[in-house]
Chain A
Amino acid sequence: MQPTAEQIEQDLLRPLFHSSGKYWVAVAIAASLLLAGVAAFGYQLYAGIGVWGLNSPVFWAFDITNFVFWIGISHAGTLISAILRLTNATWRRPVTRCAEAITVFSVLIGAIIPLCHIGRPWLAYWMIPYPSERHIWPNFRSPLAWDFFAISTYLTGSTTFLYLPTIPDFAAVRDVSTGLRKKIYRVLALGWQGTPRQWQRLEVAMHIMAVVIVPVAVSVHTIVSWDFAMTLVPMWHSSIFGPYFVAGAIFSGIAALILAMALLRKFLHLEQYLRPIHFENLGKLLLTMSLLWFYFTFAERLTAWYGNSPPEMAVFWESIRKHFAPLFWTMVVCNFIIPVPILAIKRLRTITGTAIASATVVVGMWLERFLIVVPALEHKFLPYSWGTYRPTWVEDTLMASSFGMMALLYLLFSKFVPMISIWEMKVGLQSHGGVPMVAPAEGHVVLEGPQ
């Protein structure tokens, strides 16, 4: 029994107007994690970054691991949404906004982390290319300067890409609100009336963004990978890092998306909209990425092992059989051994199944980032100055608070914006065959033809 257009609006707008107690508990928990992080950061500013576990020679660890992790998570959103839009995969409709939201928030978190991890954060603005009183520009040869441009572009782009399709939904909220809420959403809706000309402009804008955001996303994580690959550090200096990181990002991003969707489905009662077929399709994508991840990992390790260069082998063995072996093999289990059977066997590729696989992938991908950063820094070229690393409570707190921040932003987003695009669901009602869609309400023009 397909929902009607009115039902769609009702279902998808309900979370904006009604929240359960559980919701507020979740917000409270997320907010406290975030506050703990702010406090920890304050302590770090006061006492010095020595409160972290970094040392000589491990100058990056949890900070950069989390940075790459969150930028990685961001890839699914926009990439899936953009690619699925460009390829006209209609099953994407309930998924796009959840995905795009993940992207924006994780890029935001990823952008904040470097600002917090530098030794003198109050001078972070020196990364901005402005004619400074110091008479120098940022060093454009530095991958960190590239990061700055790439991430700010990506943040701007993905925010735009998130915002554009929400305009008609903001208008929908505006139309059913009163008082202050109406005023706010009127501003957010940018005067949307749903005229054909506006629809056309929206479509063109979204199309442009979809096309543009793909190379931006690919370049962002490639540039992030070049923070490592552009150095001579053994096991960092590898040309595979660009594609490896992008593939890994998409991999972790899809996993995060599946997890987010599973949670939304349960807590916002979106069972009719986020259906098993969506999890199936995303699960298939996740399987593909898992295989791709395995291929890249295997290729990278095999070539290193075969080349047998002593500096590289020192790092190699640390992960494969020495100090980091437990983490490394956990990563392989999480990224490959558990997900592949679950995702390949149709009977297991359920919502629960894909959620479990995604959870392990998120853990595994975090471990992958950590295992790229730390073992290599611990074992560079001169063995006398090899080192070890252990995080402190400050780094643990900051990391936990990044998850808290993500959860909080996402929870708040779900309170102010319909998590599933109302107008796109209505558009989907119009189609024949394929996945059953929901028809648009009266007054909305159908833009998409039969699939």
Chain B
Amino acid sequence: MERRDFIKISALSGVMATLEGCRSAEKQLIRFIPEEELIPGIATIKPGVCTVCSAGCGLLVRVMQGEAEVVRHGQQGLIKMGLAKKLEGNPQHPVNQGKLCARGQASLQMLYHPDRITHPIKRTGPRGSGEFQAISWDDALKEVSAHLGTLQASGSANSLGFLSRPLSGQQGELMTKFLKAYGAPPPVWYQPFDEAVLRQANLFSFGHAALPTFDLHLADYVICFGADFLGTWNSPVAQSISYGEMRQGRPGRRAKLVQVETRMSQTGANADEWIACRPGMEGVLALGIAHVILAEKLAPQAPGSRPGSLIDGWQAGLPEYAPEAVEKQTGVSVAVIKRLAHELAQSGLAVAMIGGPPLAHTNGLFNALAVNALESLVDKSSILSFTPQTGDAAPVQATLAALHTLSAQPPQMLLLYEANPVFSAPPATRVREALAKIPYIVSFGSFIDETSVQADLILPDHAALESWIDSVAESGSSRAVASLAPPAVLPLHDTRPMPDVLLGLGRQLGGEVAKALPWATYDAMLRAAFVPLRTRPGSIDVKTDDDFWDAAQTQGGWWSSPSTSPPLAAVKRAPLSAASPQFAGAAADFPFYFLPYVSQSFADGSLAHLPWLQELPDVLTSAMWSSWVEINPNTGDRLGIKQGDLVEIASQQGSVRAAAVLSPGIAPDMVAMPVGQGHENFTRFASGRGANPLSILAPLTEQETGSLAWAATRVKLVRAGGPEQAKLVLFAGGMSAFPHEQERR
């Protein structure tokens, strides 16, 4: 170095050092060299995949340069990096076609959440105390490796468990392969509102163990039994898109929506006709309608192997389901049953749908098969179809049984990934006690929640937007859809992607596991899975695998060319007869049906940590940051409960307290509560807030599938205090702290 240059440099650094010293201590953070090239002020749009629900919508992520405080090599500093600013739907994506729901929009806050786990941590205090301390990745991985190795060596490989939220795509594949090669049982895919009943029903009725797709934009008449398809059920964005078209997208043609529910949902609010049906009797109602259609020959009957054959008595015209008998059981009048039958049969293209609470009864499968039968009777043009799959369908799994197994035979080591059964499983499953019996628990999730706080070691995953993501759409499109996105932004914290960690552990273990997972990185595994799609007619038409892989990353995935839907064929099995829904709790002691429902803001509770969603006013009650119990106003009068009062609802399993909201959309003998609040431990925004309705659910199951019958609990209701104690926060009509009588307008 020339002396001149040396003087220049030292002078410059001297000046800089002095200037730095003049600034506040905070600004004396080191500046790291940027790890990517970005032009300030210019946005780059990158593809993404939404992971918040099973729909798997395609995203566009708006990335702009900004400055973030990060820790690199143990040192705090500032770095200019690409920051995700906004999520939009990917217009090219067949499922969501450029649109995105509220929860998808809010998912952006997961990336920059203040309570994200930013580096590996090891438990120091007792289990569940939340006392952790930092541990380096090397040490953490050594420890896990050692445990895995020991377990395998001691012949207890089958005592490794993996409890994860359902993952479609290669992440799930990776876990499955890992466990299989290791010698462990397959992963337990846990979610509180699993769709095992519907998948099973669709397998029986139509030959596809999958969630259905609905081309509502072709319909003239939709009768929906319980599914909140415009809200949270199945593929809400895709369904909303086609709903919009069904209303006003075809000049001169507007479809009618009839919603059959026990409690008015967001979807029900949009119905032209809303029909209150007794809980668990939706199948009977559907068959009552079918009876009229068959009896009056309003629609052509098709032979043999139609879904109707799964219902006992179908061939004979459903004699047990005459309108008078159905009226007694369902509460829906004969006149309405007949009218619906006529409208359905004679309204051009019709479809019958079922989802949500009707399936969450002990007779849920029967209800589903009944509606499927009605559907095949009236749906002349396959408005209901199934999304072609790129691979084999996953087996239907009822997770309650798996949790019982976990309780009964706790594994020696448990890997956890973003499943929270301590919060959402019914108390009778005793998950917390089961976890206490497991010697070693490792969690890969990004947040401390009721379940991950029980872990001994946490190896935090990247956020979704920092990861390679792929997902296969189970429903919501007539094309096969395999979504794919490389990371949209560089990692903010000292986290590592879970798939890569598993691959690394596999390499460490060697043997069968390493052989089963030969890829160095997860994206290599993804590439291997995607590349075979090149030869199928689809959205990417290139000659080489490399080009295909590049194009798939740029477009956000691959989807097949439009083709005929897979055919629907019912399986042959013994017909099912109606079973009455069973409820936990005698009506005399527990006079109300209890409906915990999937929340528009928090889904199953896994999104309660996002402030945008806490502040989002529930569209029917306008409540924010709150839990509430919906009660019919007459019930409120009878029990002396006013709007905003604190009430206690108690089942045989336990009790919860929340604010009362008087709602005309619920029957007098029913109370409903949104799921999602009541977290003990789930970041600053959700902890200690509200009440968890899932914590009082009875462990009743659907009798055929063993799926949790979450609508089968009965409760009693009593006033427990005034508005000052309930602290209901409403956006509409005044401050919660000083409520006064509100006009219902």
Contact = CB atoms under 8 A, between A and B. Distances in A.
Direct contact of A and B (CB under 8 A): yes
Interface of A: 55, 314, 322-323, 378, 383-390
Interface string B709-745: 0000000000000000000000011110111111101
Interface string B291-318: 0000000000000000000000000000
B741 A323 contact: yes
Interface of B: 622, 732-735, 737-743, 745
Nearest to A390: B738
Given A55-B735, A383-B733, A388 B743 contact: no
B733 A386 contact: yes
Given A383-B745, A384-B732, A390 B740 contact: no
A186 to B, nearest CB: 55
A381 B737 CA distance: 23
B738 A385 contact: no
Nearest to B732: A384
A388 B741 contact: no
A383 to B, nearest CB: 4
A387 B735 contact: yes
Nearest to B743: A383
A385 B735 CA distance: 11
Contact of A387 (B733, B741, B743): B733
A385 B738 CA distance: 15
A388 B732 contact: no
Minimum-distance CB pairs A-B, first 5: A388-B734, A383-B745, A384-B732, A323-B740, A388-B735
A388 B745 contact: no
A314 B737 CA distance: 22
A197 B739 CA distance: 68
A387 B739 CA distance: 9
A55 B737 CA distance: 13
A379 to B, nearest CB: 9
Contacts of A384: 622, 732-733, 745
Contacts of B732: 384-386
Contacts of A389: 735
A323 B740 CA distance: 7
19 contacts: A55-B735, A314-B743, A322-B741, A323-B741, A378-B734, A383-B733, A383-B745, A384-B622, A384-B733, A385-B733, A386-B732, A386-B733, A386-B734, A386-B743, A387-B735, A388-B734, A388-B738, A388-B740, A390-B738
Given A384-B622, A385-B733, A387-B735, 12 more contacts: A55-B735, A323-B740, A383-B733, A383-B743, A385-B732, A386-B732, A386-B743, A387-B734, A388-B735, A388-B739, A389-B735, A390-B738
Contacts, number: 33
Nearest to B737: A390
A64 B745 CA distance: 30
A380 to B, nearest CB: 12
A323 B741 CA distance: 8
Contact of A390 (B735, B741, B742): B735
A34 B709 CA distance: 66
Contacts of A383: 733, 743, 745
A114 B88 CA distance: 44
Nearest to B745: A383
Contacts of B742: 386
Nearest to A378: B734
Contacts of A322: 740-741
Nearest to A317: B743
A387 B16 CA distance: 55
Contacts of B733: 383-387
Nearest to B742: A386
Nearest to A310: B745
A323 B738 CA distance: 11
A388 B737 CA distance: 9
Contacts of B737: 390
Nearest to B739: A388
A389 B739 CA distance: 10
Contacts of A386: 732-734, 742-743
Contacts of B741: 322-323
A163 B505 CA distance: 92
A178 to B, nearest CB: 59
A388 B732 CA distance: 10
A55 B735 CA distance: 9
Nearest to A388: B734
A243 B739 CA distance: 35
A55 B729 CA distance: 14
A372 B743 CA distance: 21
A383 B734 CA distance: 10
Most buried by B among A322, A378, A384, A389: A384
Contacts of B735: 55, 387-390
Nearest to B736: A388
A384 B733 CA distance: 6
A314 B745 CA distance: 12
A73 B743 CA distance: 37
Most buried by B among A322, A378, A388, A389: A388
Contacts of A390: 735, 737-738
Most buried by A among B737, B739, B740, B741: B740
Contacts of B740: 322-323, 388
B600 to A, nearest CB: 17
B321 to A, nearest CB: 42
B620 to A, nearest CB: 12
Contacts of A323: 740-741
A200 to B, nearest CB: 62
Most buried by A among B734, B735, B739, B742: B734
A351 B596 CA distance: 69
A322 B743 CA distance: 11
A346 B265 CA distance: 69
Contacts of A314: 743
A5 B734 CA distance: 64
A323 B745 CA distance: 17
A384 B741 CA distance: 14
A378 B741 CA distance: 13
Contacts of B738: 388, 390
A241 B254 CA distance: 50
B378 to A, nearest CB: 38
Nearest to B617: A384
Contacts of B734: 378, 386-388
B728 to A, nearest CB: 13
Contacts of B739: 388
